[in-house]
Structure 1
Amino acid sequence: MARANATYYAGRDPFADFVTAPEISQIFGEILGAWVAVTWQAMGRPAPFRLIEAGPGRGTLMADMLRLLARVAPDCHQAARVHLLEQSPRLRAVQHAALAGRGAWPVAWHARLADVPEGPSILLANEFLDALPIRQFVRTADGWDERFVQGVGFVTVRAHDVPWGAAVGELFDRPVPLGEILEFCPEALAVAESVAARLSHAPGAGLFIDYGYDGAIWGDTLQALRDGQPAWPLADPGQADLTAHVDFAAFAAAARQGGALCHGSVTQGAFLAGLGLFARAEQLARGRAAAEAHAIRDAAQRLAAPDRMGRLFKVLALTSPGLPAPPGFQAHE
């Protein structure tokens, strides 16, 4: 999965296969921009601070956030130093074009979070964790088998390196029935630990938005999209987007182990609605032609309605010890 996705993002336009929330409506980026401004104030208004996005896609989310900050929170906009975590040279070029002139300071690109200078920071990751490679384990009567790719199919072999350890938390203690699959994403847990370590050394926050589950759940969630349609995950490696549902419970456990405070997860619908999604949609729709107003309202519903993205997508925040619950989470603490 790791090699196939690296090939996919390096050589194809992923947005031909799927559409992310920032591409659906500008309101998504505006709400997250406001979230950054309020969180920055709770951090003590550090200047400068690192505004980091992991997996920034076309740069749409960052562009929308910076536009909002420049308009309503100019001090925050001036203090922000934008850092993008992106490995694809092709996508870096797209992001550079989208962000030209948006920030008060030049944008910096990095392959990994460890390369971003230390200091106060706010990190956002929208549909980033789902693309990280997973391992699949199958419960047996006497332990675990691991499910591997071999050729154009799957095989299972006896697992000799089940990843026990504090970072995994109680993942392998879940009551998984015989024959069922338990998914484990080592890179997602490494991200949680890395962000937590950063937040332990300087004030900051992280916001993770993705589709997934929160709880002691199991099952095979590996899926592929090609040309906007479901595809067999093992067909034509590197030509489809491979993803898996994010295990937010395991991610939060790893972040807590690293010293961060965890808030949520909450559903994307509750998060966006609580921060003014529908009020902003009505404001934008007012005075527009009927078709345009309908498109604005429909985009808001697509982001938040339970039968669309509102329930499947979850939102989790990490903060430094001592910081209050960030916007969108106070009612759930």
Structure 2
Amino acid sequence: MTMSLRRILLSALFLCALPLPAAADAGMLTVGDAQATVRFDAPLQTAAMEVLRIYPAVRSELLVDLGWETSFKPEIVLVKDHASFKKVSGSDLVTALAIPGEDLIVIDYSKMGGHPFTLEVTLKHELCHLELHHGISDGGLPRWFNEGICQWVTGGFDEIISDGSRSGLREAVLSKRLVSIDGLSSAFRSDGKGLLLAYEESRSIINFIKRKFGVEGLRKILEQMRSGRDLESAFRNSLAIPLDELEEQWRASLSPGNAWLFYLRDNLYEMLFVAAALLTICGFFRVLKKKREYKDDEDEGEGGEGEEEDREGD
């Protein structure tokens, strides 16, 4: 979903459900300071004050990670109703979103409160999107790189809900269905497994760059893009490697052998369950076979006794 469309939907949502001009009447309140403004449903006042409390530390930590300094005042909206938030996000999987052109962050508070979806981590991830928008010119930052960086600064967190028990990336490696870097940005427009894979691949590529070139390698790329260079030029100038060659190296690092081991680990419970079910079925048929053999032996025994009695009678 495009940012402009999200903005239209968000405006409609606020006009119909959370009207900002009449916030007090509709239960929508506002708190703020020199650094940020928070709008929220009345029951979320404690959460709103917590956002204001943690914001300075989150912002400072993020700027250290990115290695630059920007200045803007974001507006953070806490929505307690998941149905209302979905009208903005367009997906059941999304827990928060950032609208860079408006310096706006919208958080589905109904999904907060437990690992990994805490206010602090979610805020840092979405704030990272705004920072990247302010640091890098419009159109210069591919979606996959944007999401990968924001996952990196939050230790791998994304704003997508998944069951966490399976890796779409490993399944894609095993089935040879990895999305190319050129196709990753469009993959974010999908939903379900396609969207989850786009996030996983983006995180995996950024982690590969970090392992190979270090955190400074990532910062050099960001600095090159901040100076106006596109991603391809930024990779050549900062890492001395073209993007397509880096993609080849990343793909080679995803060893199918290791992927099989992780796949077996992730699916061990299901495999054991199936194995136990098969053993139970086999055991049932073995018992059934033994019962039939035992009955046949009994029938043969009774038949033999009858023949002996007939001979004795003669």
TM-score band by shorter chain is: under 0.3
Q: Give the TM-score of the pair, scaled to structure 1.
A: 0.24
Q: Which has the higher helix share?
A: 2
Larger strand percent? 1
> Bigger radius of gyration, 1 or 2?
2
| Structure of higher RCO (CA pairs closer than 8 Å, 6+ residues apart) | 1
